[in-house]
Amino acid sequence: MKRKMAAMAMTAALVLGTLAGCGKTENAQPETKEEETVADDASGEAAEETETAKEPQSGEEKTITIWAWDDNFNVAVMKEAANVYAQSNPDANVNVDVVSLSKEDVYVKLQTALAGGGSGLPDIVLLEDYVSGKYLNTFPGSFADLTEKFDFSQFLSFKVDAVTQDGKTYAVPFDTGATALYYRLDLVEQAGYTEEDMQDLTWDEFIEIGKTVTEKTGVQMIVEIANNKTTLVRAMMQSCGLWYFDKDGNINIKDNEALKSAFDIIVRMKEAGILYEAESTEGRAGALNNGTVVSVVNAPWFISSIRQAEDQSGLWRAARIPRIAELDSSINASNVGGSSWYVLEKSEVKDEAIAFLQGVWEGNTDFYDTIMLNQGAMGSYIPGYDTGVYDEEDEFFGGQKLNGLFAEILPDVIPVNFGGYVAEANDAITTALANLFEGKVTIDEALEQAEAQLANQLGR
Amino acid sequence: MKRTKKAGPNYDRYGWIFISAAFLLYLIFTIYPAVESLMLAFQSLEGGEYIFVGLKNFKRMFGDAIFLQSLKNTFLYMVLQVPVMLIMALVIAVMLNSSFLKFKGFFRTSIFLPCVTSLVAYSILFKMMFSLDGIINQALMHLGILDAPYQFLQNSGWARAVIVIAMLWRWTGYNVIFYLSALQNIPKETFEAAKVDGANAVQTFFRVTVPQLKPIVLLTAIMSTNGTLQLFDETMNITQGGPANSTLTVSHYIYNQSFVYAPNFGYASAISYMVVFIMIILAIIQFSVAGKEG
């Protein structure tokens, strides 16, 4: 019997070991690690600057390592910043190394390194404002306090609020998620509406227009992702200055009027047959590009997805998002996401990293113009809004002054306290909405469920 | 004579030297992390530092609705998928082993082929097949069964079914190979004896083939059970755990606790050890069931 038990244990251990081993190799997701330094940049201009940077200077050249995601957006913007810095500060003697990772990889690697005591960390890292609280709470002291280093009154207040904790500001605000309603004017016109009809709507009016448009054109009015409808929810919620958490960080779901209205509006959209539920982010972009849906509510960076359909050039327009009619606090402006640059406290080149951020991200409006034009990046630096770039007309949007629209929306956005647990809250809301859509619960029950789930998750 | 004398004492020493490298790696990469994570299971990350919290992480599990839901889902997959897969694998193996079958090599390769596909790649493929404009919806609409495309992945029942179907496709061939090799080790005499005694094909299968395959059935059952308990790639890529957590697995939840939510490695480790504990219990049950019958 004893021998049998031993044999059993050994077999089990072997099997476990083998399987664990298999799992690990197979689970390894294709990493999109693409270490690209400024020096690798193919453009002649960059090569020239690298040479300047590499010229033997007094002392050793220092490397600032930056982690970011999205080659066409954040990474490109930071590389541009590196070029600008090298040009304007040839004596700085630093080499900026922008490492492009997937967003998930940035978080996973950062989280692992911080939890493991801090080796293998970059010097500057890009984080979404939604996760700001999570990192600042969980790893206090890991990020450099920048309060005294920048004049934060020159940055949008809701962006600064998002990266400030206990009166200390920990990041340089980068892009904003100023929310707009992007729609196909041609389809709206086919249903007998004009561009003026789409301005400063309430969601009730939007649904009525949607019904007519869907009826007359056979195209559904608005798209949202089926298993994660929180973009709409968050946009509606912040348009009232409300959030999953109140100012003190307490859960605010069950009695949250904005959430209640948001759930109601989304359910009414579905019942009216005007809501197209895409299966993924790719499916959402695809539906817009092949003309399956009329409109979408999203941030400035979403425009690049819309632009993919070149044959639709001139047919698109952007407008302020609708507001919630029954709530007086609701305005035609909101924000979904956005991110900021953090400096790691324990970085060996902390001072150089801060100097680099100061040198480019503060005061240099030309830089903001460049990234606005090239990447469509909507910065948070207020003096950057006064430049001519904002009068630029966008052909794809029928000559509309798109950047100007965002510059107009941004100051209206009401700051909210994101708190440290946005991912948890999003999951709770997603679950509640799925149950609501399957008809298992009422809106009030769904919200109670979400609050209970979140409270349980946070151990409150 | 001389050689054996010399080889005697050194034989052991050389043996140890030869395995030492592998054993060292095993110590560093398997034993050490396992022990460390066990320690972690009793700790919690608070204010940037790990503090000892005793059994708090384990207690939390029993009140954690999402964890319990993920456990329920995982068991559901196990109960639905493992028996169906093993029976299918056994039937296919017996068919592939039959003497009258032509092109055996071709069929064997085809059956095994799904196993060499990457977990992520095949998951994405299944997601595409069951998507709104996927091949399944197209086929059902052409056949007149559906009028409009159906969102399989947005219905909790169907989403689970898709995961199970995907796993059946991926893993059945893997088990077929085990059964095939075991079948080939069964002495031919036993089949001949059954034939002489007048047993038909069904009787031969249940009375002669299956009993002699028992050890391998046990092995595949344990491996499949473990595999299901560690299920991650499929739910991550096909459904992201949705709708309403109805496809979330325990492994997926461990991932969420570590990397998606505010990092809670202590709690994640505690759940991992809970999974280990469940595996041990299941293995003991499987061994004892097999032991009784034999």
User: Could you report the per-residue pLDDT of A103-120, keeping only the tens digit for each?
Assistant: 989 999 998 898 877 788
pLDDT of residue A267: 94
Average pLDDT over residues B83-92: 93
- At B293 the pLDDT is 52
Mutate to test the interface with A, among B32, B50, B62, B66 (most CBs of A within 10 A): B66
CA distance A77 to B19: 52
CA distances from A372 to A68, A214, A341 (A): 18, 35, 17
Q: How far apart are CA A127 and CA A12, in angstroms?
A: 42
Averaged pLDDT for residues A34-62: 46
Give residue A269's pLDDT. 95
* Best residue of B32, B167, B178, B230 to probe chain A, by most A CBs closer than 10 Å: B230
Segment among A267-271, A311-315, B35-39, B95-99 with least mean pLDDT: B95-99
Do B287 and A8 make contact, defined as CB atoms within 8 angstroms? yes
With 90 as the cut, is the pLDDT of residue A12 above it?
A: no
Higher pLDDT, A15 or B161: B161
The alpha-carbon gap from B262 to the nearest alpha carbon of chain A, in Å, equals: 6
From start to end of A124-244, where are the E strands? 124-128, 164-165, 168-169, 171-178, 180-184, 220-225
For A27, which residue in chain B has the nearest alpha carbon?
Answer: B233
Q: Which two tokens stand for residue B131?
A: 């998507």
ipTM of model over 0.90: no
> How high is the pLDDT of residue A51?
41
Q: Do A227 and B65 touch (CB under 8 A)?
A: no
**Beta pairing, strands A275-278 & A220-225:** parallel
Contact with chain A for residue B278, Cβ under 8 A? no
What residues of chain A lie within 8 A of the CB of B155, using their CB?
438
Choose among B45, B244, B258: nearest Cβ to A435: B244
Q: Do A431 and B245 touch (CB under 8 A)?
A: yes
pLDDT at B2 > cutoff 70: no
Tell me: pLDDT of A17 over 80: no
CB A132 within 8 A of CB A163: yes
**pLDDT score of B100:** 82
Residue A20: the pLDDT is: 42
Q: Quick one: residue A323, left, alpha or beta (phi over 0 = left, psi -120 to 50 = alpha)?
A: beta
Residue of A20, A138, A427 with shortest CB distance to B263: A138
pLDDT of residue A40: 39
- pLDDT at residue A393 greater than cutoff 70: yes
What are the tokens at A297? Answer: 């509510």
The pLDDT tens digits of the residues spanning A288-345 come to: 999 999 999 999 888 888 988 999 999 999 999 999 999 999 999 999 989 999 999 9
| CA dist., res. A334 & res. A410, Å (int) | 8
* Res. A165: pLDDT tops 50: yes
Whether B284 sits inside 8 A of A8 (CB atoms) is: yes
Q: 231-250 in B: which are within 8 Å (CB) of A?
A: 232-233, 239-240, 242-245
Confidence of residue A440 (pLDDT cuts 50, 70, 90): confident
- How many CA atoms within 13 Å lie on the side-chain side of A215? 9
pLDDT at A1 over 50: no
**Cβ contact B283–A104 (<8 Å):** no
Contact A431 B222 (CB under 8 A): no
CB contact under 8 A, B131 and A283: yes
pLDDT averaged over chain B?
A: 88
Asked whether the predicted pLDDT for residue A4 surpasses 60, the reply is no
Min distance B54 CA to chain A CA atoms (Å): 16
- Identify the pLDDT of residue B47: 73
The answer to whether B65 contacts A435, with C-beta atoms less than 8 Å apart, is: no
pLDDT at A52 over 50: no
**Mean per-residue pLDDT over chain A, rounded:** 85
- Residue A30 pLDDT > 60, yes or no? no
Over chain B, what HEC string results? CHHHHHHHHHHHHHHHHHHHHHHHHHHHHHHHHHHHHHHHCCEEEECCEEEECCCHHHHHHHHCHHHHHHHHHHHHHHHHHHHHHHHHHHHHHHHHHCCCCCCHHHHHHHHHHHHHCCHHHHHHHHHHHCCCCCHHHHHHHHCCCCCCCCCHHHCHHHHHHHHHHHHHHHHHHHHHHHHHHHHHCCCHHHHHHHHHCCCCHHHHHHHHHHHHHHHHHHHHHHHHHHHHHCCCHHHHHHCCCCCCCCCCCHHHHHHHHHHHCCCCHHHHHHHHHHHHHHHHHHHHHHHHHHHHHC
Q: Minimal Cα–Cα distance from A382 to chain B, Å?
A: 32
Taking the Cβ of residue B157 and every Cβ of chain A, the question of whether any pair is shorter than 8 Å is answered with no
Task: Report how far apart, in Å, the C-alpha atoms of A152 and of each of A372, A377, A418, B53 are.
Answer: 20, 19, 19, 40
